[in-house]
Structure 1
């Protein structure tokens, strides 16, 4: 009995982030008003700006300037991630929604939401944290998150215009200012502190765990808003279809991205880890403001936003489940190359 309890504690300790995700979702369902927009935690500021800024500040402390500047030369990796994110995923989603899902009885506004998700830029937090947790190329993940976020300010609205016919356009000036405040400035400050050795004791702080804890806060506030979204009624079948489609599509995109990058034989194992997460994840932080501008006042706003609200935590859940096997794959792949005769 004692051995079983000890084994259970060890299992929980190894997978504390996944346990934390489940607990955050459960608490969000029990007390959604605490972490919802307008609640006492003020997630419209703390989750959207402060938390994202903390994650990029930690990334700056964790990186050497040489690593970040060195990854700029890895243009093939960056092209792969951005083309997969802004090109392949939207095209596949439009084809599937038009030719397959529409004939399965899925709500047309949820399908529009699925297409909307596919046009979103890569995230500014989850892909970096997961890449770092596995031991992948964190510098490449940071670079592509920053690059994808800025490209998304321009590409995402035009993609929505192309695929959905929306006439609304995103305020690029406001978005660039917000990105600078939450991404660029914290990252540069962290890099500067590391580069000039202003902070010399940060290595004693578990930066990866701090970043994952901040991400748990973002997950909690995300689900709080999701559980309180009742703009337009949705039946249980619509929600079930949405969750099922999002999960299956993410698994398919993860599988495709991983094997494409692996079979191209152009990237290291650490690069493939970063590619897999960065090219398949979508940003809730940037996505929600884009949707609010494009579809503000729509009676079907909840259906449009539902896929994004499902996609964000699902990508973190699937990513957290992949951390352990990815670590094992990265270790064996690196060891095989290292000890190859």
Structure 2
């Protein structure tokens, strides 16, 4: 009897696969809906608007993002990823050296071509920002990469970023280089760092440390809450709210109307180019394709580690970037701040879209290491379950042994008491 058809799984209908693919892009769709809402109702999410988004989003939303990050970053993963100095050097080098230099080159070229100086200045500021938080770890996980390495890179980048980003902006955007209109602040960096320390410590480092501490004290309840409440998706949605707030300011202040169409088009294309160039450069540096030799083999990172750096290296975080721009240009009008934020929010949307495209491609490229890692993880979990089962059996046998021993002791004590009684009776006789 032919049982081939009976053992084959039914093929998923095409419409269901299409709906599943669309649902998987929920973050991108949510961002599009929020941008449309910002266009229709700009005064709801603008600074000073109905929801007072400069507090509810820039403070409250960002604080929740980093609290969730602290609750989500695996402590074991952070410990295992910390010794990977080579990866830290590569990630920090691209985040705070290569990306800022590339953004400065593109921004200066656009400014010299007569494009809007504030939009181009925002491109330069965006280049020096730290990597994003939620999407890096989730994209690395989806591609089968090392989430341990992605977690530690996110933590290190966002710890250093609030201190390095203002310095880079001040270094690049100087009057001597033709950036007098877009230079941050009007004096030294001290007032800027004071504001950064006040706001970002309260909304960034503080919540993240609190989350890590809570996770350390209550690891199992936190893991359960993280799964039940889908905290990763909550953090991604809160990040989209930061984009919504920035677009609300842009639409309310007329930033898209006062900035030339050429500036916006140039910004969009250069954002795509920057992400692709940085991704390609990270790949070349960590994999050294086509280069033989022992030294190259020692330097070359595994595919899973490479995946983490391919997502962390080019990415920029709007959760830190939006308040950073607001602090750097606190003395400027809302219209100027909105123009400076355009590069950040456009880059954020494009990097989310690019991640959705490259995740399946990178997973296919690293399929051998991903399959080996998943098999090892499955074997480790199976061994843990076996050990747990044996441990429970051992406990039961131990309890049974203790019970038997207790019964023997009680019988012995009873015999001893009976002997004592017999001896006393014998003496009386």
Question: Comparing both chains, which one has the higher relative contact order based on Cα–Cα distances under 8 Å and sequence gaps of 6 or more?
Answer: 1
Instruction: Name the CA distance, whole Å, in 1 between partners of 2:239 and 2:322.
Output: 17
Give the TM-score normalised by the residue count of structure 2. Answer: 0.67
Among 149, 152, 157, the residue aligned to 1:140:
149
Instruction: Name the CA distance, whole Å, in 2 between partners of 1:213 and 1:23.
Output: 12
Residue 280 of structure 1: aligned partner: 314
Instruction: Name the CA distance, whole Å, in 1 between partners of 2:210 and 2:161.
Output: 23
User: The residue matched to 2:122 in structure 1 has which SS?
Assistant: helix
Residue 297 of structure 1: aligned partner: 332
Instruction: Name the CA distance, whole Å, in 2 between partners of 1:37 and 1:130.
Output: 31
| 2:352 equivalent to 1:316 | yes
Mapping of 1:115-154 within 5 angstroms?
115-154=124-163
Residue 76 of structure 1: aligned partner: 86
Residue 194 of structure 1: aligned partner: 215
Q: Structure 1 stretches of 5 or more lacking a match?
A: none
| 2:278 equivalent to 1:253 | yes
Given that residues 133 and 208 in structure 1 are in contact (C-alpha distance below 8 angstroms), is that contact kept between their aligned partners in structure 2? Answer: no
Residue 267 of structure 1: aligned partner: 301
1:104 offset after TM fit, Å? 4.5
The alignment of Structure 1 onto Structure 2 pairs a total of residues equal to: 338
Given that residues 123 and 281 in structure 1 are in contact (C-alpha distance below 8 angstroms), is that contact kept between their aligned partners in structure 2? Answer: yes
Instruction: Name the CA distance, whole Å, in 1 between partners of 2:336 and 2:204.
Output: 31
Instruction: Name the CA distance, whole Å, in 1 between partners of 2:59 and 2:134.
Output: 11
Bigger drift between 244-253 and 29-38 goes to 29-38
Among 232, 238, 241, the residue aligned to 1:214:
238
Change (3 A) 1:40 1:127: farther
Larger Rg: 2
Among 235, 254, 260, the residue aligned to 1:235:
260
Residue 27 of structure 1: aligned partner: 37
Change (3 A) 1:217 1:96: closer
Change (3 A) 1:204 1:90: closer
Given that residues 45 and 53 in structure 2 are in contact (C-alpha distance below 8 angstroms), is that contact kept between their aligned partners in structure 1? Answer: yes
Change (3 A) 1:104 1:269: same
User: The residue matched to 1:280 in structure 2 has which SS?
Assistant: coil
1:87 offset after TM fit, Å? 0.8
User: The residue matched to 1:171 in structure 2 has which SS?
Assistant: helix
Instruction: Name the CA distance, whole Å, in 1 between partners of 2:171 and 2:98.
Output: 15
Instruction: Name the CA distance, whole Å, in 2 between partners of 1:21 and 1:162.
Output: 33
Residue 393 of structure 2: aligned partner: none
Residue 160 of structure 1: aligned partner: 169
Mapping of 1:48-127 within 5 angstroms?
48-98=58-108, 100-102=109-111, 104-127=113-136
Superposed CA RMSD in Å reads 3.3
1:84 offset after TM fit, Å? 0.9
Residue 9 of structure 2: aligned partner: none
Instruction: Name the CA distance, whole Å, in 2 between partners of 1:273 and 1:229.
Output: 40
